[in-house]
Amino acid sequence: MAWEEAEYETMQRRAGAFVDAGAAPHEAGYLAWRMLMRDRPDSGDNRRVCFECKHLRDNARCLPGLLPLRFVLQRCDSFELRGSERKARTEKA
C-alpha cells in the first residue's frame, strides 16, 4: 500500500516527539512506522503506546499500580487518548 503524504508527516512528527522524549532515533522511527501501520483502517491492531495516554505524567508515572512503558505498543484497559477531552469539548461547542 502506498503511503499518503499525511501519513508520512504524522510518522515524522511522532518520531520527532519520541526522540524529544528520550527515545533513541532508530527506536523512535521504528515505533512511528508501527503506529502508522496500526492506524490504517484495515490493520485490526488496537494496541497503544503509553506516550499517547492522558494518564502518563511528566515524571514518567502512570495510574497507581501500572508501570508505564512509554515506547512499547501494548493493550491497556486504562488507556485514554491524551487530548480526547479537549476534542470532545470542541466538538460539542
14-52 pLDDT, tens per residue? 999 999 999 999 999 999 999 999 999 899 999 999 888
Please report the pLDDT score of residue 78 as a whole number.
Answer: 87
Whole-angstrom distance, CA of residue 77 vs CA of residue 53: 11
Same domain for 39 and 19, yes or no, is yes
Same domain for 52 and 86, yes or no, is yes
Number of H helices, E strands in the chain: 3, 0
How many domains are there within the chain? Answer: 2
Same domain for 32 and 55, yes or no, is no
Whole-angstrom distance, CA of residue 3 vs CA of residue 15: 16
The residue assigned the cell 495510574 is 63
pTM of the prediction?
0.76
Please report the pLDDT score of residue 68 as a whole number.
Answer: 83
Per-residue pLDDT reduced to its tens digit, 45-87: 999 998 889 888 776 778 767 778 888 999 988 889 988 765 5
Same domain for 38 and 62, yes or no, is no
Reported for 17-20, long-range contacts at CB under 8 A and 24+ positions apart, including other chains, are 17/51, 18/51, 18/71
| C-alpha distance across the termini of the chain, in Å | 37
pLDDT of residue 2 exceeding 60: yes
Same domain for 63 and 87, yes or no, is yes
Final residue in a domain of this structure, among 10, 28, 45: 45
Please report the pLDDT score of residue 32 as a whole number.
Answer: 96
> In which domain, by residue range, is 74 found?
47-93
Grid coordinates given for 38: 496500526
